[in-house]
Structure 1
Amino acid sequence: FSTDKNFCSSFVYLLKKSLESQKKEKLLSFFETRFVPQSFIELSTFLSDFVRISEGEVVLLIDEVDRASNFSIFLQFLGMLRSKYLNQLEGLEVSFQSVVLAGVHDIKNIKLSLRSEEEKQYNSPWNIAAEFDVDMSFSSEEISSMLKEYAGEHGLEIDILQLSQEIYKYSSGYPYLVSSICKIIDEKLEKDWTSKGIQKAISKLLEESNTLFDDLIKNVENHSDISELLHSILIDDAEITYNPDHSTLSKSFMYGIIKKDEMNKVAISNKIFEIRLYNYYSAQLEISKYSNFKPYAPSYKYFDEKGILDMSKVLLRFQDFIQGNYSDKDGKFYERQGRLLLIAFIKPIINGHGFYYVESQHSYERRSDLIISYGEKEYILELKVWYGEKYHEEGLEQLATYLKSRGQKEGYLAVFNFNKKKEFTSAWREVRGKRIFEVML
């Protein structure tokens, strides 16, 4: 809407059409006695009179607010509604009992998009709303309760405690993700209520295009600062303390992309978002000039005659890829993207039959554990940066302890060494009764 006149007349027209569909004859007769408003002042009077003759209180629901807030006319409209609401509280005017704004992440963050990027500032034409601090996510116990009810209705015997904890581990209780996982298992996976079934459901969910994932990626692509923040968290294992005064952090928190952990550190909201973002960033890398994976494609024999994935072959092949594709001039890029390259390399190999997620371990070593499930086997692949022999040996001990905690006899260690004179070595190591295949990258 380019003018007040167009906006006001269109608003009244839509209001009338809505009443016609509901056959509100008394309210429709009101329109026959009134001129169509041509300005916001006239629209304000029109709405006051409309509410006055209405039977009962009137609530105005406005949808798609984020999208409409790109137009200054709409922001003027919100400003008018705000003034009317305040005047009504003082008994000076008649207005809507409430105005509900839907399709908006946080009204205080509507921006005047008509200004230049440097001039943009927070705009809050409707800042009256009371604080609404309610955790809408499900706890593991609440998921357990839902599964118990479901199992009872369908006569199923399932490990409710384990399944509820697994679903929560990946979803952090995000309602849409919880319900989607359960729906996929129930309707598309023949009620495979197992840990593998949950992983299969998540894989199918991640293949979908839905508004939740669309909004996630849209916010990353539309905000370079958010993209840089997420890259730091996901790829660099950056440890960042949450600060509500930092615009990028508060914006990412507002969009539901990040959360605060118990130590007030920033983390991605849930593991499903993490995997989606890893997939997004690795896909960008795959189509760039830096990742010619074709000679190392999945057709290479990464599997034995029984179809079991040989992770040592995968890592050795990736080592060949690094040696063959990264010269000293690419060092900066490799240091920045090395671990993402490994994820992008592995994804096509396990695609369709495997599942992965990342467990970050914040420490001086910047460790991440890439957990890969393929077939009936789980692979623990630790990714770490080389900080010298002492820290490296300590890291091997930590990995052995981690393998024990997960009941694994073997593990894998990918060490990213950015020294120019490094040697590309590989070897099996025995550490505290665990076999660890170590590869220097």
Structure 2
Amino acid sequence: MAQQQPHRIAKRYFNTTGPCFPDHHYMVDPLKRLKGVEQLIEQGQYFVIHAPRQSGKTTYAFALMEKLNREGVYTVLISSIQPAAQGQNPIEAMKIAAMCIEQDSRLYLPEAEWSPTVSEVSFPENGLQRYLQQWSLNNPKPIVLLLDEVDSLQDDNFLALLYQLRSGFVGRYKQGFPHAMGLIGLRDVRDYKIRLRPDSQSMGTGSPFNIKAESLFVDRLTEEEIVTLLQQHSEATGQPFEPQAIATLAELTQGQAWLVNALAHHIVQRLLEGDVGQIITEAHVWQAKEALILRRDTHLDSLIDKLKEPQVREVITAVINGSAPNFDHYDDAILYCRNLGLIAPHPPVRFANPIYQEIIPRVLSFGFQESIPQDYADPHWYIQQGRLDMEALLKAFQEFYREHSEAWLEKYDFREVGRQLLLMAFLQRVVNGGGRIEREMAVGNGRSDLIVEYGDERFVLELKLKRSEWDESKGLKQLARYLDRLNESTGYLLLFEIDSAKSWEERIRWQRLTEAGRQLIVVGM
């Protein structure tokens, strides 16, 4: 009986799960996204490929493997060693890693180039090194090994991997070892060192981190690449994206590959239910963005889970506060958050894209939002005939803040930014479903800026902690500049007093100021 062929998907789609393959998914050419790898391979170098999750690292590695194997000079294999994270000790972890390599070699390579059978190789403490040596000595071509998900290994297991790779690298010309190797993961090798050993401790001359020739970062999609990706769908189905829809999608995602695909997939498959006769508009993009935030897919959840880590909390707090950070370990924390994809790759330090900028504060303030009494947050108190009464809303928040803030903030993990997040939760609870809140935050701004859009109205709010008497005048100047940039005439400066010795009578106030035709309203609390 003839062997049954695996089912092939005839129709391509926007992929949000795992690597992309050209027969199945819309995708840009992955080999154009990373330069210099083939030169490193020709030189027999060991290197690192890193980027945030679902940015295209594995897609690139598969495309590279296919291209180089087709050319026939090398035996190229990508293998995910994530299962090795289950190893109870370094020997067991390295044996599982070897089993992953064995299994993947049988999936992707001709039989003459298969790696050895693990069960036929003894596994002492340097078992993975010996395994790769045996494969290299017996293989007809130089081996290029791309190890994916290397940062899934922890502590001693990860150190064992790097030590054995380094030892094999040093003796490869006499004892055999892969000609070139790429470690693929979330972080650069430098960050592995931070995670494993404090900076004050040396790893000695046997450090495994000195085998890499270069660290390569898979960058975000460019605007041109986003257009190319979306046009593939239009060419395949005849369904166009309006130019403004493409521009808004690019702005909201800032080229984060998973977000681009997730928004497009939601529009095509969920909002329009596969009806390719409809034109994709900017309104569809905004609807998809909101649905994505509310749905919190695995990609977003994995990012949010990182907020619990001290390094991440330090950076996120500084971004939301707009404050100067603790510089003692700040460089490492920034690098770590950039590698996670939480913050933008270039200064100023800010969230990586508007979607993260919205979802992270919303997640951090979700407990507040759910717990605000309905007496305060009932939209009917503030929305009449489709119009939002912002002054009534902010006065109600002043009252709520006076009554509840001390008890609520006392128990909050992100207490340093709790005041701002409490206000955001209050606003979100009221405008949910009928309006939109845009946030602007960056380290060093000294403030958080909010734009609340409801109907055809736009309200500008600046949130600032009052640490000294200078903060109010500084905040008013910042608000005036912000209004100029937005071409708006009215704005609110919300000042949160941090001196607990001051009475509520001193803190709570409402003051209107006029400057150069603009109305500046100070809301103290």
Tell me if both proteins adopt one fold, taking TM over 0.5 as the criterion.
Answer: yes
Structure 1, residues 193-217: CA drift from partner, whole Å, max 9, x if none?
Answer: 5554433322222223334323322
Structure 1, residues 370-419: CA drift from partner, whole Å, max 9, x if none?
Answer: 01223443322222345889875675566456445434454434333454
* CA–CA distance in structure 1, aligned partners of residues 241 and 97 of structure 2: 55
After superposition, where does 1:24-423 map in structure 2 within 5 Å? 31=117, 35-41=120-126, 44-70=129-155, 72-88=156-172, 91-110=173-192, 125-133=208-216, 136-140=219-223, 142-143=225-226, 154=238, 156=240, 158=242, 160=243, 162-190=244-272, 195-221=282-308, 223-234=309-320, 236-239=321-324, 246-259=331-344, 261=346, 264-286=347-369, 292-298=372-378, 300-304=380-384, 306-326=385-405, 337-360=418-441, 366-386=446-466, 392=472, 396=476, 399=479, 402-403=482-483, 405-418=485-498, 419-420=502-503, 421-422=505-506
SS in 1 for 2:187: coil
Aligned residues: 426
Alpha carbons of 1:6 and 1:404: their partners in 2 closer, same or farther (altered >3 Å)?
closer
* CA–CA distance in structure 2, aligned partners of residues 41 and 145 of structure 1: 47
SS in 2 for 1:50: helix
CA contact (8 A) 2:239 2:279 kept: no
Alpha carbons of 1:355 and 1:2: their partners in 2 closer, same or farther (altered >3 Å)?
same
Deviation of 1:105 after TM superposition, in Å, equals 1.6
* CA–CA distance in structure 2, aligned partners of residues 100 and 329 of structure 1: 48
Alpha carbons of 1:217 and 1:187: their partners in 2 closer, same or farther (altered >3 Å)?
same
CA contact (8 A) 1:285 1:341 kept: yes
Among all aligned residue pairs of Structure 1 and Structure 2, give the percentage whose two residues are the same amino acid: 24
* CA–CA distance in structure 2, aligned partners of residues 105 and 393 of structure 1: 42
Structure 1, residues 203-246: CA drift from partner, whole Å, max 9, x if none?
Answer: 2222233343233223221x223213311221x21145989984
Alpha carbons of 1:134 and 1:29: their partners in 2 closer, same or farther (altered >3 Å)?
closer
CA contact (8 A) 1:372 1:378 kept: yes
Deviation of 1:14 after TM superposition, in Å, equals 5.1
CA contact (8 A) 2:322 2:443 kept: yes
Alpha carbons of 1:164 and 1:269: their partners in 2 closer, same or farther (altered >3 Å)?
same
Greater Cα shift, 133-142 or 249-258: 133-142
CA contact (8 A) 1:411 1:437 kept: yes
Alpha carbons of 1:14 and 1:286: their partners in 2 closer, same or farther (altered >3 Å)?
same
* CA–CA distance in structure 1, aligned partners of residues 152 and 379 of structure 2: 46
Counterpart AA for 1:356? I
Unmatched 5+ stretches in structure 2: 1-86, 273-277
SS in 2 for 1:296: helix
Counterpart AA for 1:368? S
SS in 2 for 1:372: strand
CA contact (8 A) 2:240 2:279 kept: no
2:4 is matched with: none
Superposition RMSD in Å: 4.4
TM-score by length of 1: 0.76
Deviation of 1:116 after TM superposition, in Å, equals 9.8
Deviation of 1:315 after TM superposition, in Å, equals 0.7
TM-score by length of 2: 0.66
* CA–CA distance in structure 1, aligned partners of residues 405 and 132 of structure 2: 67
SS in 2 for 1:95: coil
